[in-house]
Amino acid sequence: MSASAAGPEKARRLFVFNGGFLTQSRVRRILALADYKVSLGRPKAGDLIGIWGNSPTAHRGIAVAARYNAKLVRVEDAFLRSVFTGRDGSPPLGLLIDHKGVHFDPSHPSDLEELLATHPLDDTALLDRARGAIARIKEAHLSKYTCFEPEAVVPSPGYVLVIDQTRGDASVTASGADRNRFLEMLFVAQEEHPGARIVIKAHPETAQGHRPGYFTQSDASQGVSFLSAPVSPWTLMEGAIAVYTVSSGLGFEAILAGHKPRVFGQPFYAGWGLTQDEFPVQRRQRGLTRAQLFAAAMILYPKWYDPCRDCLCDCETAIEALAAETRSWREDHRGWVASGMRLWKRGPLQKVFGRYKAISFQDDPAKASASGRPWMVWAGKAEQEHRTAVRVEDGFLRSRGLGAELVPPLSLVTDDLGIYYDPTRPSRLENLIRSRRSLRPDQALRAERLIAALKKNAVSKYNLGGTMPEFPPGPRVLVVGQVEDDASIRLGAGAISTNGALLEAARAAHPGATLIYKPHPDVEAGLRSGHCDASALADVVANRADITQLLDAAGTVWTMTSLAGFEALLRGVHVVTTGAPFYAGWGLTEDLGEVPPRRREDISLLGLVHATLIDYPRYYDPVSGLPCPVEVIVERLANGPLPHPGLVNRLLSKAQGVLASRAHLWR
């Protein structure tokens, strides 16, 4: 971050005279992490006075600063803020802390304007980051506020977009604009595009009844319509032939979407050759690219906050935090009705899917489907009568401990087409893998870093640890045992469907190799079926061994459908599949089983990893209680802290050991 935008290195008292600094804990926390100590009382000469932008209470701080010869620090929300508006109670994801001015007030230069005017903005790595972040924001349909559904219908393409703002907004008044300016903008839009449809986009706070806008229904006429519904700005920009704004943040997003908006105010993004300016700011004479504008405004200028790790972070981390929370709202805000969920699973499911509206549990398919809510069913319990339900299953980075021991999952997957372990029908994961045939540079880099973190921290699905046995010299083949009544075996194993048969096939193919057999942890714990006497075929039976260490030691892995085959691919190990696991058929494995023809195409390992671990699952951080990106879960599994299962779960788990043959009762 630029020193000019970052503020002082040493913590200094920041005297405030606005109650919001005291009542908004997130604001105080970000300021503290940025080395500002929010204080009350009488400042001394040279002290700092914090004010919120040009808010109605800012005059208090301005007066105190003038009286005591103190310095003003203006604080504002960052340009990506939250799912809901601040008036709806959402805390900000970042702050703009400016020692020179405020970004939306053209009467004085701000730290942001200085960055835009003087920073070289020519570093290749910085601009690559900017391009990647722009693409990611578009892909995830993120904006300042994100409580809209990307699929929401927008007007048919070919309209002129005119952007309204809330009446009295500080960025409007700082530009010297009023209702007459908005009416002038509407008139010019009609004059410059005769016969075109005009769409006036209402501000979210206006649509929600918090504050009026500058346009009213009386401004609608033939060819002019209002759009108050919450829609994706990115979808809206795609259909627009021109964009008109006074000083809205949507004007900035219009630039990122490829438009050159007509600007009737003097916002921070005007004057750099990316807008048509009705009222130019004469001191802004530099020409910038979109990537340079974004780099300054979104990477160098803000103080971004990671709500899971409780620390300041870079722009990309903040984007992923907002993307995770936004995905949660978009998929869950209508509420779910759930079927086939055992009692011990319901609490964890509520934490993941019931954040915005509690899940209703209903095992009667007729009643569940008639509830009017989206419907989910545990994938292993899905029957023909659940065909319209979304299937739910544990994710691939699950926990530190076994699901069969009732340890709650940190990741879950939802699939509206099928489920990843069932090759007899398409799944959402298959579509995601196919969509990642090619990756942007930022996506490839993220997948590379994820693989490196998984390998470095020895993270796997269950993270049980264990000791390593001694191996004789020579080539090593790891044979991965599975639970033989598992759904992935029943649906996807093919001709070889038992651990004994898998061992026999591996031994026949590798008569001279050291054959290592790793039983499934659930089978080792006596909780599921699948025990076999491997001593006659295997040279080493690796009971209670760490699967990640075994994968690192193996040259080849044989599996029916185990996730260990995927984990082996991450480590560059040759994988032989005898069934049709989700990672087979993409040119990365040696497939001996019958793989569906629809998978017969080559996908890179990075594309497979991005689809499987980044795109497909939902992740839940048990520390912050928030939805989170995969990187947070990797850190939690590697270093903790993680909560332990409750007493009831531990007692139920022990009871399962006695009733292992009836595992279907609790799974």
Average pLDDT rounded to a whole number, residues 545-553: 95
Q: How far apart are CA 81 and CA 322, in angstroms?
A: 8
pLDDT tens readout for residues 523-532 = 887 777 778 8
pLDDT at 26: 97
Is residue 512 predicted with pLDDT exceeding 60?
yes
Whether residues 480 and 607 share a domain: the answer is yes
* CA neighbor of 301 nearest in space, from 31, 71, 97: 97
- 9 falls in which pLDDT band (50, 70, 90)? low
How many CA atoms are closer than 13 Å to the CA of 228, on its beta-carbon side?
Answer: 13
What pTM was estimated for this model as a whole?
0.93
Quote the Cα angle for 341-416-628, to 5°: 75
139's CB contacts (< 8 A; 6+ apart) are none
- 517 falls in which pLDDT band (50, 70, 90)? very high
Please give the share of the chain, as a percent, with pLDDT higher than 70.
95
Look at residue 547 and tell me if it is in a domain: yes
Is residue 650 predicted with pLDDT exceeding 60?
no
pLDDT at 433: 98
Whether residues 147 and 57 share a domain: the answer is no
Q: How far apart are CA 513 and CA 474, in angstroms?
A: 7
Structure tokens at 108: 């004085």
pLDDT at 403: 75
Is residue 67 predicted with pLDDT exceeding 60?
yes
Whether residues 101 and 208 share a domain: the answer is no
Average pLDDT rounded to a whole number, residues 360-386: 96
Q: How far apart are CA 490 and CA 483, in angstroms?
A: 10
Residue 553, beta-bridge partner list: none
Q: How far apart are CA 543 and CA 569, in angstroms?
A: 22
pLDDT tens readout for residues 354-372 = 999 999 999 999 999 999 9
Structure tokens at 589: 């494995």
Is residue 2 predicted with pLDDT exceeding 50?
no
Average pLDDT rounded to a whole number, residues 80-91: 93
Q: How far apart are the first and last CA of the chain?
A: 49
Mean pLDDT of the chain: 93
Quote the Cα angle for 368-371-373, to 5°: 100
Whether residues 123 and 156 share a domain: the answer is no
Whether residues 40 and 60 share a domain: the answer is yes
More confident call, 8 vs 546: 546
User: What CATH number is associated with residue 199?
Assistant: 3.40.50
pLDDT tens readout for residues 211-245 = 999 999 899 988 999 999 999 999 999 999 999 99
Is residue 76 predicted with pLDDT exceeding 90?
yes
Structure tokens at 59: 């005059």
- Pairing, β 626-628 against β 476-480: unpaired
Is residue 649 predicted with pLDDT exceeding 60?
no
Whether residues 136 and 169 share a domain: the answer is no
- Give burial (CB, 10 Å; 0-12/13-18/19+) of 500: middle
pLDDT at 1: 41
309's CB contacts (< 8 A; 6+ apart) are 632, 635
User: Is residue 23 within a helix (H) or strand (E), and if so which, with residue range?
Assistant: helix 20-23
* CA neighbor of 163 nearest in space, from 87, 255, 75: 255
Q: How far is CA 130 from CA 125, 249, 307, in A?
A: 9, 18, 22
pLDDT at 402: 81
pLDDT at 660: 44
Q: How far apart are CA 128 and CA 231, in angstroms?
A: 28
Which range (42-51, 618-627, 629-638) has the least confidence?
42-51
Look at residue 216 and tell me if it is in a domain: yes
Whether residues 540 and 445 share a domain: the answer is yes
Look at residue 393 and tell me if it is in a domain: no
Q: How far apart are CA 292 and CA 120, in angstroms?
A: 9
Is residue 663 predicted with pLDDT exceeding 60?
no
More confident call, 568 vs 209: 568
DSSP type of residue 524: H
Is residue 87 predicted with pLDDT exceeding 50?
yes
Look at residue 324 and tell me if it is in a domain: no
- 645 falls in which pLDDT band (50, 70, 90)? low
Is residue 14 predicted with pLDDT exceeding 60?
yes
517 dihedral zone (left: phi>0; alpha: psi -120 to 50; beta): beta
Whether residues 45 and 157 share a domain: the answer is no
Look at residue 221 and tell me if it is in a domain: yes
Average pLDDT rounded to a whole number, residues 285-306: 98
How many CA atoms are closer than 13 Å to the CA of 175, on its beta-carbon side?
Answer: 30
Is residue 179 predicted with pLDDT exceeding 80?
yes
463 dihedral zone (left: phi>0; alpha: psi -120 to 50; beta): left
Number of domains the chain is built from: 3
- 350 falls in which pLDDT band (50, 70, 90)? very high
pLDDT at 145: 96
Quote the Cα angle for 194-199-203, to 5°: 145
pLDDT at 5: 43
pLDDT at 10: 66
pLDDT tens readout for residues 242-274 = 999 999 999 999 999 999 999 999 999 999 999
Look at residue 443 and tell me if it is in a domain: yes
Whether residues 535 and 516 share a domain: the answer is yes
pLDDT tens readout for residues 412-448 = 999 999 999 999 999 999 999 999 999 999 999 999 9
Q: How far apart are CA 29 and CA 36, in angstroms?
A: 9
Look at residue 344 and tell me if it is in a domain: no
pLDDT at 467: 87
pLDDT at 55: 85
Strand locations in 401-500 (E): 411-415, 476-480
pLDDT at 6: 43
Is residue 86 predicted with pLDDT exceeding 80?
yes
More confident call, 337 vs 467: 337
Whether residues 5 and 147 share a domain: the answer is no
Domain containing residue 532: 434-639
Question: Residues 280, 261: contact at Cβ < 8 Å?
Answer: no
Whether residues 232 and 130 share a domain: the answer is no
pLDDT at 529: 74
- 452 falls in which pLDDT band (50, 70, 90)? very high
Look at residue 392 and tell me if it is in a domain: no
pLDDT at 647: 52
pLDDT at 406: 86
Whether residues 86 and 109 share a domain: the answer is yes
Average pLDDT rounded to a whole number, residues 566-577: 98
